[in-house]
């Protein structure tokens, strides 16, 4: 009896080793993850922007209620008295915008406070041109700076480091708001000086985020980039050219007011800086 076995196929030769994949360049190693993170931040920023636009329409979030919530939130860091003073300074700042908006005849909401993000107002109608937008924007830092100045005066009169520190924070917040990026006040002011300052402000803010990472700064950077891109896309729309048409004396007034106020705030911060020993 015989058996039949199929022929045994020769063992296949091992495949030739594939050439090693080229290592990613340094640019890809650095900017690849940053690009992915940037996309996530942009998506979150867009959702947060929609939320901020809807907040003023929620009747339950009144000015007084949002102020109390903010005081309670800041009190976790600074204590009740300092938190109440800080929220009061934010209220004074926002009222500067409200007063100027009413002077221009613009329908404006009451201030709404958002813990750790500051406060905001909403307009149902935009100013007529960049000059009026600049006046509306600088109204907040001017009145807010006067509020901090008043606290500084009281602190000097009673020799209170507590009040001097509060004044320092008030000067700092108003100076920070003068950064030339939208949605901060400074970005709306420099629109009457020259819109090109937005690009400088965005580059400076990006450098600050890279060297001193901070969640709030990242959010502001996202909003600033989106707003700059939106304004760039609509630069040729009907009426956009006339909106940024500013007379020479208006441009000079905006520049002197903007840079002069920034310099005075730096002086105020220097004068009210006290050691953290209280």
| pLDDT recorded at residue 95 | 94
Is 167 in contact with 273 (CB distance < 8 Å)?
no
132 in Cβ contact with 247 (< 8 Å): no
Q: In a 3-state reduction of DSSP, which class is residue 68? A: helix
- Give per-residue pLDDT as tens, 179-193: 998 888 999 999 899
Residues in the chain: 278
- Residue 83's closest CA among 95, 96, 93, 70? 70
* pLDDT of 36 strictly over 50: no
CB 230, CB 186: distance < 8 Å: no
Of 40-49, 107-116, 263-272, give the range with the top mean pLDDT. Answer: 263-272
Q: Does the pLDDT value for residue 55 go beyond 90?
A: no
Which of these ranges, 162-166, 182-186, 224-228, 239-243, has the smallest mean pLDDT?
239-243
In percent, the amount of the chain with pLDDT more than 70 equals: 74
The rounded percent of the chain whose pLDDT value lies above 90 is 43
């Amino acid at each position: 009896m015989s058996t039949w076995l199929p022929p045994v196929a020769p063992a296949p030769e091992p495949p030739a080793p594939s050439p090693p994949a080229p290592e990613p360049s340094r640019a890809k190693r650095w900017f690849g993850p940053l690009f992915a993170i940037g996309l996530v931040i942009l998506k979150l920023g867009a959702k947060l922007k929609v939320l901020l636009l809807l907040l003023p329409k929620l009747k339950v979030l009144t000015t007084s209620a949002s102020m109390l919530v903010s005081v309670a939130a800041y009190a976790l860091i600074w204590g009740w008295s300092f938190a109440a003073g800080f929220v009061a300074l934010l209220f004074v700042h926002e009222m500067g915008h409200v007063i100027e908006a009413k002077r221009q005849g613009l329908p404006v909401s009451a201030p709404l406070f958002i813990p750790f993000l500051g406060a905001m107002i909403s307009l149902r109608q935009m100013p007529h041109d960049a000059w009026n937008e600049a006046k509306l924007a600088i109204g907040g830092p001017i009145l807010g700076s006067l509020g901090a100045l008043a606290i500084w005066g009281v602190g000097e009169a009673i020799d209170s480091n507590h009040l001097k520190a509060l004044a320092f924070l008030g000067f700092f917040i108003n100076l920070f708001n003068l950064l030339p990026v939208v949605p901060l006040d400074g970005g709306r002011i420099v629109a009457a000086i020259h819109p090109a300052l937005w690009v400088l402000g965005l580059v400076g803010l990006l450098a600050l985020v890279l060297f001193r990472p901070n969640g709030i700064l990242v959010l502001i950077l996202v909003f600033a980039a989106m707003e700059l891109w939106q304004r760039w896309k609509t630069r040729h729309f009907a009426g956009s050219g006339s909106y940024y048409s500013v007379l020479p004396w208006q441009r000079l007034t905006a520049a002197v007011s903007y840079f002069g106020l920034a310099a005075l705030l730096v002086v105020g911060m220097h004068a009210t800086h006290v050691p953290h020993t209280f």
